[in-house]
């Protein structure tokens, strides 16, 4: 039987690179925290597998028998080989861009003369990693390759059986990768660690490496691996039961995210019959619970900067992640590197005039990424006041007359509720139909809250109503009513713990981690505090959070952070966890907040612009028919258009993209 044609597909919504655990108690706790019900935004009618397996991907530079294939399948021009690595031996490999054209574009790229304000020698800088970086990576190689031996014998046997099954199911994997361990398993997939056997000799890797300059925190993504080193990748095996539409959505979004900072880059993906696998760079990750309680401020800043740079870049591409949480942000605490992964729930943001379902705010726009509150003159303020008055009246009724019916026969308000328990923003819980990147910012604020309180998880609701009550018990009725009104909803409760004015997030942190506010003399490098934390496996209720242990029972007398650091962090926290989406700080503005801003060039200098934006944005466009990315080149002796591969032609900061440097206009 001939081998199936390879297709470009992606990993699913489970965390692709999170380390698994063999400890049963820890596994149970992880399950309780991580495997909570999440609404799938793409759970409409299932698509037949056979129909799915014949989807033809777009935007590829290599063809096999006339069918576009994953971009990474193309070899380097200097080492072009015949035959398709991922298809049967009868296939002919057709390189769309011949060697002469490739060389011509390379010469044009080399003609660029940089000005004093440009990133000097960017291409040359990215060719050689710093010595310290290379030495650390070399020390990691042996440890990374032998992780399987550190696991219990019975687990090793189980993993080896899975690896053998995967190699038999997808035989072409063994030609290019050596699978050495299992990184984790989920409901929809399993992820394995492997060595890329031909990174140095066979593949053209620049499209997924990107071109981040040395000054960027994402420069490590663009560094070629040292010659002769072992290159590790993550191989994700997607189960045949996965929703095809969800896989398609994720792979298209991941392709659009190529070149984004601190975002998992898709190297390639393909299928063999009903087996689908995706290949991504391996990212070292540490369990959030192992370091968050006493992490120094420099580490917290690095964590949040990486996260907000990832969010800024994807939000600029009209993409909302929808499931931001520690398990989906792979962080190496040694090198302060973070990578946002798992785009299984990600969705597009539509740019429209007004929100759906009569919300009282506009849709996201370039000028207002989180939308704007509609002016009172455009609203029926009288009807709003009547609804609010009725809700407040209900809040004063006895308990047997407040709540919601067990069998609610009212029309269902449909909205995207995808996300993880404890991380959903108020607008998600209130079923707003015009959600924006503000929901990711709220989730990021929750992570900062974990760092400051020394507690994770904080919220353990069973449904959306309980989740709203958990938030309301902190911020109070007044602010929750205002947030509900923004989305054409009302909020009514007579629960005594939900006060009218609530408290600030600063007060909430102080109640739950009083040691943070004790002595403010030690610098950020001070001895870690022993602030009160959860016992392993336990959970918190809203009452626990509002009535924490007596501060006098704590053994610590010193704060881990300085007064300035703490005040800045708490101010940012208030802005991240603002209950009204339109007033919540954006990812870009968070990077310019005093807590995260860095000396020197601002974040704008390293921002990879989306298609059509940036200094040479007018020369980039998407084909109206094929929706493929094209770039136009104009000069004294040429005027032509070239189709771009995903990850190519991305201008960074005030610089033009790598392919427009030779144009006279930009010299």
Q: Report the catalytic residues.
A: 323
Contact 422, 446 (CB under 8 A): yes
Lateral strand order in the sheet of 67-69: 67-69, 62-64, 93-95
DSSP assignments along 383-441, one per residue? HHHHHHHHHHHHHTS-GGGSS--SS--SPP------S-TTT--HHHHTT-SS--THHHH
Residue 545's Cα: distance from chain center in Å? 28
DSSP assignments along 57-100, one per residue? P-S-SEEETTEEE-GGGSBPGGG--SS-TTS-TT--EEESS-HH
* DSSP letter, residue 171: T
Cβ neighbours around 589 below 10 Å, total = 15
Of 126, 184, 135, nearest to 155 by C-alpha is: 184
Of 180, 174, 177, 226, nearest to 197 by C-alpha is: 177
Contact 395, 494 (CB under 8 A): yes
Tokens of 331: 């962080």
Of 31, 20, 16, 281, nearest to 158 by C-alpha is: 20
Contact 460, 541 (CB under 8 A): yes
* DSSP letter, residue 656: P
């Amino acid at each position: 039987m001939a081998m199936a044609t390879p297709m470009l597909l992606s990993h699913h919504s489970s965390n692709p690179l999170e380390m698994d655990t063999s400890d049963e108690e820890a596994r149970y706790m992880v399950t309780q925290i991580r495997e909570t019900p999440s609404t799938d935004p793409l759970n409409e009618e299932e698509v037949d597998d056979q129909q799915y397996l014949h989807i033809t991907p777009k935007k590829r530079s290599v063809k096999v028998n006339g069918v576009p294939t994953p971009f990474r399948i193309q070899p380097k021009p200097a080492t072009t080989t015949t035959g398709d690595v991922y298809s049967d031996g009868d296939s002919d490999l057709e390189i769309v861009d011949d060697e002469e054209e490739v060389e011509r574009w390379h010469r044009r790229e080399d003609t660029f003369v940089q000005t004093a304000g440009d990133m000097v020698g960017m291409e040359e800088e990215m060719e050689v990693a710093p010595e310290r970086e290379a030495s650390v990576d070399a020390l990691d190689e042996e440890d990374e390759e032998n992780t399987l031996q550190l696991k219990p014998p019975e687990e090793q046997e189980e993993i080896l059986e899975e690896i053998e099954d995967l190699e038999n199911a997808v035989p072409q994997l063994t030609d290019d990768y050596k699978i050495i361990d299992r990184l984790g398993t989920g409901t929809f997939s399993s992820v394995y660690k492997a060595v890329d056997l031909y990174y140095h000799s066979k593949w053209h890797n620049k499209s997924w490496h990107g071109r981040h300059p040395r000054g960027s925190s994402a420069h490590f993504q663009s560094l070629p691996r040292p010659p002769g080193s072992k290159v590790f990748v993550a191989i994700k095996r997607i189960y045949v039961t996965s929703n095809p539409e969800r896989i398609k959505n994720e792979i298209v979004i991941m392709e659009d995210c190529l070149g984004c900072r601190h975002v998992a880059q898709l190297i390639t993906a393909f299928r063999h019959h009903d087996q689908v696998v995706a290949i991504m760079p391996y990212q070292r990750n540490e369990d959030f619970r192992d370091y968050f309680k006493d992490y120094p401020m420099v580490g917290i800043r690095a964590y949040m900067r990486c996260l907000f740079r990832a969010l800024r870049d994807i939000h600029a591409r009209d993409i909302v992640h929808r499931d931001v949480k520690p398990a989906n942000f792979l962080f190496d605490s040694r090198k302060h590197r973070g990578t946002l992964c798992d785009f299984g729930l990600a969705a597009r943001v539509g740019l429209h005039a007004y929100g759906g379902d009569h919300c009282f705010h506009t849709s996201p726009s370039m000028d207002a990424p989180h939308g704007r509150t509609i002016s009172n003159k455009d609203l029926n303020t009288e009807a709003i006041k009547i609804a609010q008055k009725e809700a407040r009246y209900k809040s004063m009724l006895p308990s047997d007359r407040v709540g919601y019916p067990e069998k609610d026969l009212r029309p269902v308000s449909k909205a995207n509720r995808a996300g993880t328990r404890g991380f959903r923003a108020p607008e998600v819980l209130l079923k707003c139909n015009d959600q924006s990147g503000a929901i990711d910012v709220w989730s990021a604020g929750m992570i900062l809250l974990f760092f400051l309180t020394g507690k994770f998880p904080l919220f353990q609701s069973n449904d959306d109503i309980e989740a709203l009550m958990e938030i309301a018990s902190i911020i109070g009725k007044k602010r929750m009513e205002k947030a509900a009104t923004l989305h054409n909803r009302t909020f009514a409760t007579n629960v005594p713990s939900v006060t009218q004015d609530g408290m600030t997030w600063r007060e909430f942190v102080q109640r739950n981690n009083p040691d943070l506010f004790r002595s403010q003399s030690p610098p950020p490098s001070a001895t870690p505090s022993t602030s009160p934390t959860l016992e392993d496996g336990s959970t918190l209720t809203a009452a626990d959070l509002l009535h924490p242990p007596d501060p006098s029972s704590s053994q610590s007398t010193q704060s881990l952070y300085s007064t300035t650091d703490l005040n800045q962090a708490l101010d940012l926290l208030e802005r991240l966890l603002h209950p009204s989406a339109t007033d919540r700080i954006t990812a870009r503005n968070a990077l310019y907040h005093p807590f995260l801003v860095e000396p020197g060039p601002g974040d704008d200098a390293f921002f990879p612009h989306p298609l059509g934006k940036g200094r040479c944005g007018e020369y980039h466009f998407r084909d109206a028919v094929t929706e493929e990315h094209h770039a136009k080149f104009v000069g004294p002796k040429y005027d032509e258009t070239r189709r771009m591969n995903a990850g190519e032609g991305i201008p960074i900061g005030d610089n033009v993209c790598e392919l427009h440097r030779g144009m006279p206009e930009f010299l």
